[in-house]
Structure 1
Amino acid sequence: MANVKGAPKGARTPWQVTRSVWYAMFMREAISRTMSDRMGWFWMVFEPLAFITIMVGIRSFIRGDRLIVNASFIPWMVAGLMGFFLVREGMIRGMGAIEANSALFAYRQVQPVDPVVVRNFLEGMLRTFVFLLFILFGLMLGLDIYPDNAVKVIAAWLSLWSLGLGLGLVTSVAATLVPEVGKVVRMLSLPLLIISGVMLPLNQLPHWLLDYLMLNPIPHALETLRLGFFENYKTIHGTSMLYFWLVTLFLNALGLLMHLRFVDRLKAK
């Protein structure tokens, strides 16, 4: 028998199939990410902690906290680091998603875009949990890290998550088709951390240089995230979430189009 839409009775819709694929891949990735590597959780917590420790030591020499208006230095830097790592991990882990799940493409329900989306979602959940841990520990230590505007913080955090997804979609195709792209992207992650205003404020740079650095969308969301923690914080001149979302939506659309255009070549890799 067929229903009114012409599909066999009991047949699943495309969305139901996709949801089942994502759930199965999510469970597979989650187990692999959190249980196969006993040091996985350690590095997720230790990496930002090490950066913070180093920068606190540097602060004692350069007094970087004096360069930040109406915000405590350590919470300011924690917010920047965690937001940047969310974007970076979405971009880098997306590159290896297709190759790591190539055996699953034998099933016609699984498309190359699926592992990229699932990995980004999982990474976002893990980074959110680690960020909440840092906030909790900071509050226990008496740091001013409680958000003044929780809604703005959540919106900025989800925005950074979306940017990481867009970058992951683009780099996953580019790095799979041209392996050298992956090496270049990994090399650029450290300079990107520096020019995104993660560790030191960009406001002290010359105006002509700041105009070029603000073409990078990451500082726009990081500054908005920090503004959610410190309502009187003075953001970088030119911060615009409209610009951020134009770039983010473009990257997501470009990534999806690249996956659609090169789907057969990605499955053959």
Structure 2
Amino acid sequence: MVTFKDQLYAWRGVIFALFLRELQSKFNDKFGLGWAFLEPFAFIFALSYLRGLISGDDIHSIPLFLFMMIGMVGLQSLTTCLQSVSTSVRRNKPLYAFRQVQPISAVLTAGFLEFSIKVVVVALLSLALYLMGETFEVNDPLLLISLFLLLWVFSISIGLIFAIAAAFVPEVDKIKSMLTRPLMFISCVFFSLQDLPEEYWPYLTWNPLVHFNELARYACFESYGTKGVSLNFLIEITIVFLFLSLSMYHITWKKVLSR
């Protein structure tokens, strides 16, 4: 008789094997993990240069490069995790012939891989800041870590919803692409919420990424403030989408296997 402990060991082995498989397929060129660092660094540098022409060396008490770095890390954490998780069920479909491998294992593996990559990228970006002479102290590291974990759970939840929907309607992938493209301009990456008149804030604050970026900047610099954003909103919407995604998976995962 198979015990629950044996099932956990088997599940851990499946996730570890899937993790190695995903890691090898994601970085199978010469640069490997270097691309994960070079791409955001070059993009942050370009955006910082363009924003510097408009507003100078700092934005609401935050150094320009740090302002852009926080926004870009938040945006790419959401979009890369969403893309990887939403396609993980389809990518690993041949492996479902093995009884131990289930779609949720592929989803968790993809989410954990993207989380691990972003941790390494943030560490490398912090090292780059130190070498550039941009030293600073994080005002509230616990809040910053909590925000990153909330964003990770939110991204996996949204990705799982899209993965299930795409299993029944493949055209959902096109809708996902259309929805993610404007995020660069409506998520307070290039600008701050405080740059806009308050009457326009309701058109942006429905977006959880706005709250994440603004609160992450506040967690690093207390002088930035939290006007217009709410941690409670982030927690509530993350719980809602987590519950919705798990409910959809529980109802449909057997049908997903047969698609």
Would you call these one fold, judging by a TM-score over 0.5?
Answer: yes
Task: Give the deviation of 1:248 after TM superposition.
Answer: 0.8
2:127 corresponding residue in structure 1: 136
Paired amino acid for 1:171: F
Task: Give the deviation of 1:214 after TM superposition.
Answer: 0.6
Q: Are residue 254 (structure 1) and residue 247 (structure 2) matched?
A: no
Query: Could you report, residue by residue, the CA deviation over 1:37-71 in whole angstroms, capped at 9, with x for unpaired residues?
Result: 334534322321232222223124312656x3221
Q: Are residue 122 (structure 1) and residue 103 (structure 2) matched?
A: no
Q: Are residue 175 (structure 1) and residue 194 (structure 2) matched?
A: no
Query: Relative to structure 1, is the Cα distance of residues 140 and 148 closer, same or farther in structure 2, using a 3 angstrom cutoff?
Result: farther
The TM-score, its normalising length taken from structure 2, stands at 0.91
1:44 corresponding residue in structure 2: 36
Task: Give the deviation of 1:177 after TM superposition.
Answer: 1.9
1:90 corresponding residue in structure 2: 81
Distance in 2 of aligned mates of 1:11 and 1:223: 43
Distance in 1 of aligned mates of 2:136 and 2:67: 8
Give the conservation status (yes or no) of the 8 Å contact 1:226–1:233: yes
Give the conservation status (yes or no) of the 8 Å contact 1:90–1:167: no
1:61 corresponding residue in structure 2: 53
Q: Are residue 232 (structure 1) and residue 223 (structure 2) matched?
A: yes
Q: Which runs of 5+ in 1 are unaligned?
A: 1-6
1:192 counterpart (183, 196, 204):
183
1:27 counterpart (14, 20, 24):
20
1:14 counterpart (4, 7, 25):
7
Distance in 1 of aligned mates of 2:47 and 2:123: 21
Query: Tell me, what secondary structure is at the counterpart of 2:12?
Result: helix
- What is the aligned residue count? 259
Query: Relative to structure 1, is the Cα distance of residues 100 and 87 closer, same or farther in structure 2, using a 3 angstrom cutoff?
Result: same
Paired amino acid for 1:106: A
Paired amino acid for 1:21: V
Give the conservation status (yes or no) of the 8 Å contact 1:138–1:145: no
Q: Are residue 244 (structure 1) and residue 237 (structure 2) matched?
A: no
1:152 corresponding residue in structure 2: 143
1:201 corresponding residue in structure 2: 192
Query: Relative to structure 1, is the Cα distance of residues 165 and 228 closer, same or farther in structure 2, using a 3 angstrom cutoff?
Result: same
Report which of the two structures shows the higher radius of gyration computed on alpha carbons.
1
Query: Relative to structure 1, is the Cα distance of residues 179 and 76 closer, same or farther in structure 2, using a 3 angstrom cutoff?
Result: same
Give the conservation status (yes or no) of the 8 Å contact 1:88–1:189: yes
Taking every aligned residue pair, what percent have the same amino acid on both sides? Answer: 31
Distance in 1 of aligned mates of 2:178 and 2:8: 38
Task: Give the deviation of 1:31 after TM superposition.
Answer: 2.4
Root mean square deviation of aligned Cα? 2.0
Distance in 2 of aligned mates of 1:167 and 1:256: 10
Distance in 2 of aligned mates of 1:83 and 1:171: 20
The TM-score, its normalising length taken from structure 1, stands at 0.88
Query: Tell me, what secondary structure is at the counterpart of 1:262?
Result: helix
